[in-house]
A and B are shown apart, each in its own frame.
Chain A
Amino acid sequence: MADLYTNAPPVLAPASAEAKNVLIQANTVESILPLNVKSLRYAVGAAELIRGVSFVVQRGSRNIVLGANGAGKSVLLRLLHGLLPPSGGQIEWAHSNAQFKQAMVFQRPIMLRRTARENIEFSLRLTQRGHRSRDSRGHRSRDSRGHRISDVASAAEAALDRVGLAHLADRPARLCSGGEQQRIALARAWALSPEVLFLDEPTASLDPTATKAIEEIIHAINKTGTTIIMTTHDIGQVKRIASRVLFLHRGQLIEDAAATPFFETPQSPEAAAFIKGELLW
Chain B
Amino acid sequence: MSEFTQGFSTAFALIATANSELLAIITLSLKVSSTAVLIASALALPFGAWLALSFFPGRQIVIAILNGMMGLPPVVVGLLIYLLLSRAGPMGALGLLFTPTAMVVAQTLLIFPIIAALARQVIEDAWSEYREQLMSLNASRLQSMVALLWDMRFTLLTAVLAGFGRAIAEVGAVMIVGGNIDGVTRVMTTAISLETSKGDLAMALALGVVLITIVVIINAIAQIVKTTAMRRHG
Contact = CB atoms under 8 A, between A and B. Distances in A.
A82 B134 CA distance: 12
Contact of B233 (A104, A106, A174): A174
B122 to A, nearest CB: 12
B132 A172 contact: no
Max chain A C-beta neighbours (<10 A), residue from B137, B138, B143, B151: B137
A113 interface: yes
Given A103-B136, A123-B137, A110 B143 contact: no
A112 B234 CA distance: 10
B233 A129 contact: no
Chief secondary structure at chain B's binding surface = helix
A83 B132 contact: yes
Interface in B138-173: 138-139, 143, 147, 151-152
A99 interface: yes
Nearest to B144: A126
A172 B136 contact: no
B130 A112 contact: yes
Given A126-B138, A126-B139, A172-B234, A113 B152 contact: yes
A113 B136 contact: no
A56 interface: no
Nearest to A174: B234
B138 to A, nearest CB: 6
Contact of A110 (B132, B138, B232, B234): B132
A106 B133 contact: yes
Nearest to B232: A172
Max chain A C-beta neighbours (<10 A), residue from B147, B151, B232, B233: B233
Max chain B C-beta neighbours (<10 A), residue from A103, A106, A122, A175: A122
B143 A126 contact: yes
Contacts of A82: 135
Interface in B206-234: 232-234
Contacts of B130: 110, 112
Contacts of B135: 82-83
A81 B132 CA distance: 10
Contacts of A110: 129-130, 132-133
A81 B138 CA distance: 11
A136 B232 CA distance: 44
Nearest to A104: B136
Nearest to B143: A126
Contacts of B137: 123, 126-127
B167 to A, nearest CB: 28
A172 B147 contact: no
A126 B141 CA distance: 12
Given A110-B130, A112-B130, A174-B233, A81 B147 contact: no
Contacts of B133: 106, 110, 112
B228 to A, nearest CB: 12
Nearest to B130: A110
20 contacts: A78-B132, A81-B136, A83-B135, A104-B136, A110-B130, A110-B132, A112-B130, A112-B151, A113-B152, A113-B233, A122-B147, A126-B138, A127-B137, A127-B138, A129-B143, A172-B232, A172-B233, A172-B234, A174-B234, A175-B234
Given A110-B129, A123-B137, 10 more contacts: A78-B132, A83-B132, A99-B138, A100-B138, A110-B130, A110-B132, A112-B133, A113-B152, A113-B233, A122-B147
**What are the 5 tightest A-B residue pairs by CB atom distance, in nearest-first order?**
A174-B234, A113-B233, A110-B133, A113-B151, A104-B136
